[in-house]
Amino acid sequence: MPETNLSMHAAARGLRRRGVAGVLAATALAAAPFLAPRLGAHLPNLALVAAAPLKIQVHILAALTALAIGTMLMIGVKGTRLHRTLGWTWVAAMATTAVSSLFIREMNHGAMSWIHLLSGWTIVALPMAVYAARRHKVHLHRRFMTGLFVGGLLIAGGFTFLPGRLLWRVFFG
């Protein structure tokens, strides 16, 4: 296929992905006011976060920063100067999220849990993803970063709302 056709296909795929992400986000926002009271949600009890150990506060702040910047990176145009600046900030936030989590062991009586495997994987995969970008291996870079964002942040973030965990108590407890 000629090069212009390939780049048009890539642009159309990017637009489709952004459209799907936009529709999903809009649906979640529209459903939230109806679902939240049925799930027993209330205004966030931030006193619980304020009373948490510093390592957990650092972890939450870094994870939420990575979530916000990661969403912009996934939806936005790739390869620009802004993408690179936000990308480095995202890498720093993800590294802080993963390293701080190594010190959080309250949930498993002082021992590490299976979730720490994700921290190990993040610490290994982040430099590999950056290396792929610097070598212009765009496909590999995209696979690593999307895997870290979806597999790491979205799934690990989702698990933090399991009953009994801190964020579940902040919103539902």
Angle at 24 (CA atoms; ends 8, 121), nearest 5 degrees: 80
Q: How far apart are the first and last CA of the chain?
A: 56
Per-residue contact string for residues 106-125; x = within reach of ligand HEM by CB under 6 A? -xx----x-xx-xx--x---
Q: Does 70 bind ligand HEM (CB under 6 A)?
A: no
Q: Does 16 bind ligand HEM (CB under 6 A)?
A: no
Q: Does 63 bind ligand HEM (CB under 6 A)?
A: yes
Q: Does 141 bind ligand HEM (CB under 6 A)?
A: no
Shortest Å distance, C-beta 63 to ligand HEM: 3
Cα–Cα distance for residue pair 42/137, rounded to 1 Å: 46
- Pick the closer one to ligand HEM by CB: 121 or 140: 121
- Pick the closer one to ligand HEM by CB: 64 or 86: 64
Shortest Å distance, C-beta 11 to ligand HEM: 30
Q: Does 157 bind ligand HEM (CB under 6 A)?
A: yes
- Of the candidates 38, 11, 8, 41, the one whose C-alpha atom is nearest the C-alpha of residue 163 is 41
Radius of gyration for the alpha carbons in the chain, expressed in angstroms and rounded: 18
Cα–Cα distance for residue pair 121/125, rounded to 1 Å: 6
Asked if 71 and 93 count as a contact pair (C-beta separation under 8 A), the reply is no
- Of the candidates 141, 90, 148, 143, the one whose C-alpha atom is nearest the C-alpha of residue 119 is 148
Footprint on this chain of ligand HEM (rule: CB under 6 A) = 56, 59-60, 63-64, 67, 97-98, 101, 104-105, 107-108, 113, 115-116, 118-119, 122, 152-153, 156-157, 160, 165-167
